[in-house]
Amino acid sequence: MKKRILTGIQTTAEQFHLWNYFGAVRPMLELAKDPNNEVFLFTANMHSFTVVQDWDALRKNTLNALKLFLAVSPTPETFFIYNPAMVPAHAQLTWVTLCLTNMWVLERMHAFKDKVQKWKQNEASVGLFTYPSLMAMDILLYDANNVPVWKDQKQHVEYTRDLAMKFNRIYGETFVIPEAVIQKDVAIVPGIDGQKMSKSKNNYIWLLDTEKQILKRVKQIATDAKRIEDPKNPDECNVYNILKLFLSPEENISIRKRYIDWGLSYKEVKDYLYEKIIEFVIPIQQKFDAISDEEVKKMLQINAKKANEIATKKVDEVYKKIGFIL
């Protein structure tokens, strides 16, 4: 039996920045290379609706995310890409999760508390509050074994596990207990201001940025005031911390040596980073441009059929066990 690895990526922005790719998409590409794995990747646009309620934006974000999944994957056939909004079972079973979850369990969720703190209390929707219950069903519907997520999502996966165990205990074996795979080996990727690269901080470099935009962003990366003749610590340098994502082990050793030795200017290292980003993004952008909206919609129709086949069985099983249908 193949191991089923499943994750969703939010569509809260028009496209992906470098961190979204290196932190979330690339690990899935790596996992898809192993023939023992089966990788399910989806656009979490029902989740994004908790914050993005402009229909043009949500539609565009979803379409772009799907095209980017296809554009970055050298073998899209090893990925099963779908849109849960085309699978009614997500919403159908979320009602069950909500009824089986005590209020206090959701009240202590860090992700909710963080978001509410950033906004005014009364701006948070009930959907945002119950977001983990939808996420739990995204996972349990498909019998996922592993769920790769960044550490801020760990609590949501733990809640999913508790819920699955509780259900199995009360109603009999129904759900596979998933395990979170926390991507701790991927360090925080800094944005151009040195803080964590984030959509909300305007410090990102998008995968679809033009050469001109990338050049501007790279020039803006904050550095210290060390001179050419000063030895430098690469690990403390924002330029290096982005650059290292693109380097082979040999290139990495060689540039680290240049930092520690004499004679490296930030201008030189920024030029190097610019070249590396361009070399990386151009083929992705070319593939992205070649994918038509129709192609994406067709893929979604086909894949929704398979997703519905899996998910509907689960709904039937659950609805029968809990006494909804006879």
Q: Please report, as ranges, the residues that interact with ligand ADP according to CB under 6 A.
A: 10, 12, 19, 23-24, 150, 152-153, 188-189, 196-200
Q: What letters, b where the CB count within 10 A reaches 16 and e where it falls short, cover 122-155?
A: eebeeebbbbbbbbbbbbbbbebbbbbbeeebeb
Query: According to CB under 6 A, which one of 149, 208, 221, 255 is a site residue for ligand TRP?
Result: 149
Kindly tell me which of 149 and 197 has the beta carbon lying closer to ligand TRP.
149
| Cβ 116 to ligand TRP shortest distance, Å | 15
| Cβ distance to ligand ADP smaller for residue 20 or 133 | 20
Closest distance to ligand ADP from the beta carbon of 272 (Å): 21
8, interface contact from ligand TRP, ligand ADP, none, CB < 5-8 Å by kind:
ligand TRP
Q: Distance (Å, rounded) from C-alpha 203 to C-alpha 98? A: 37
Is residue 44 involved in binding ligand TRP (CB under 6 A)?
yes
The site partner of 196 among ligand ADP, ligand TRP, none (C-beta below 5 to 8 Å per kind) is ligand ADP
- Which CB atom, from 115 or from 321, has the smaller least distance to ligand ADP? 115
Query: What minimum distance in Å lies between the beta carbon of 33 and ligand TRP?
Result: 20
> In the complex, which residue's CB is closest to ligand TRP?
8
DSSP string, 85-106: GG-THHHHHHHHHHHTS-HHHH
Query: Where do runs of H (alpha helix) occur along the chain?
Result: 18-19, 26-32, 45-48, 55-72, 89-99, 103-107, 110-118, 126-140, 154-171, 211-220, 238-243, 249-260, 266-290, 293-322
Burial of 46 per CB tally in 10 Å (0-12, 13-18, 19+): buried
- Within 3-42, the residues that bind ligand TRP by CB under 6 A are 6-8, 10
> Mind telling me the catalytic residues?
115, 196, 199
